[in-house]
Amino acid sequence: MVRLCQKSFFEPLKKELPNGKEINLSQPAIVAYHKLHSNRPYDLMDLQKLRPNLQERDFSMLRRSLEREIEKTEKMVKEKAQEVWDSLTPMLKLTHDQKVISEKLLEYPDLQKRRNDQKISEFVSLISQYVSENPNITFEDFLSQSLAILKLREQVEQKLKVIDQLEKS
């Protein structure tokens, strides 16, 4: 996970209850960050309810965090893709059979661990099809297609749109 900015974002907000007791509440920006990363139906409604408590600096922090997060994720994907490519290329000199390519991809430990995950299965199927249909494929092609299949940028752009909509509301 990406490191979220300043220490002040982690200091709880004090709220006094009608009975005089004081409680600590999580910073709205931190709650918003976690809500943006959840896929539950009610998280968008929660973000709308949270909106009055979010300030300009909170929106800036959320945008910066998402940008750093995608940069870090894309860097990691590039490194992993290079490892996968390095193990795949010797086999491509012998065959471009999609099934053989899929099996070889699933030997990679990170993919093997998550082979029952629908997203991983779809990725392996689509990337192996692409590799099998492109005999002169380069690492750059493989990486570009992998990123397109994974849609990492699109996911962050969706979150940025949610932030923009929240800020305007």
pLDDT of residue 16: 63
pLDDT of residue 1: 45
Q: How confident is the model at residue 15 (pLDDT cuts 50, 70, 90)?
A: low
The pLDDT tens digits of the residues spanning 93-146 come to: 999 999 999 999 999 999 989 989 999 999 999 999 999 999 999 999 999 999
Please give the DSSP secondary-structure letter assigned to residue 7: G
Mean pLDDT of 15-31: 69
Round to whole Å and give the CA distance between 82 and 142. 9
Which sequence spans correspond to the domains of the chain?
A: 7-68+154-168, 70-152
117 in Cβ contact with 130 (< 8 Å) = no
Residue 19 pLDDT > 80: no
**Confidence (pTM):** 0.72
Q: How confident is the model at residue 23 (pLDDT cuts 50, 70, 90)?
A: low
- List b or e across 94-107, with b for residues whose CB sees 16 or more CB atoms inside 10 angstroms: eebeeeebbebbee
Round to whole Å and give the CA distance between 52 and 169. 9
29 in Cβ contact with 51 (< 8 Å) = no
